[in-house]
Amino acid sequence: MQKNILLMSHSKQITNGLKEMIDQMNQSAEVSVHSLGGTSDGELGSDPMPIIEVVNDAPEDAIFLVFADLGSAVMSSDLAKDMLEEEQQKRYHLVDAPLVEGAFAAAITASITDDVNQMITEAKNSGKKGWD
């Protein structure tokens, strides 16, 4: 099963750096990380269309875990879900977790399991540092 981690941010530099970090730590061929930050003209902002393209180009059984940083990146991710076919929406998960820690934890977990709920749980728990 192909597992896709979609990184949404206002900044392409942020998502490119995060993708590079995850790719270096995760060598699973079943996990693909997609840097979808910024706008199509290289400016700060967000755009739902790159998400739609990734989903449409993926195998029919692929799953998508979407991580976003701020306001309009979250809104673009949510809008993209609304623009997908119903069957695609079932495999598209907006994960309410920190962008860096959540995406990293989800990708590493996805490399060892096909359990989407476990991937999401690990992502959501990733921001807890345990500092007192």
Residue 89 maps to which CATH number?
Answer: 3.40.50.510
What pLDDT was estimated at residue 130? 73
Supply the pLDDT for residue 124: 96
10 is catalytic: yes
Domain hosting residue 24, numbered range: 3-125
Of 10, 12, 19, 91, catalytic: 10
Measure the N-to-C terminal CA separation of the chain; round to a whole number of Å: 39
Mean pLDDT of the chain: 95
Number of domains forming the structure of the chain: 1
pLDDT band at 131 (very low <50, low <70, confident <90, very high): confident
Question: Is residue 132 in some structural domain?
Answer: no
Encode pLDDT of 61-83 as tens digits.
999 999 999 889 999 999 999 99
Predicted confidence (pLDDT) per residue in 105-125, tens digit:
999 999 999 999 999 999 999
Name residues whose C-beta falls within 8 Å of residue 62's C-beta, 6 or more positions apart in sequence: 1, 2, 3, 4, 55, 91
Domain assignment of residue 131, yes or no:
no
- Rounded Cα–Cα distance for residues 14 and 131 (Å): 25
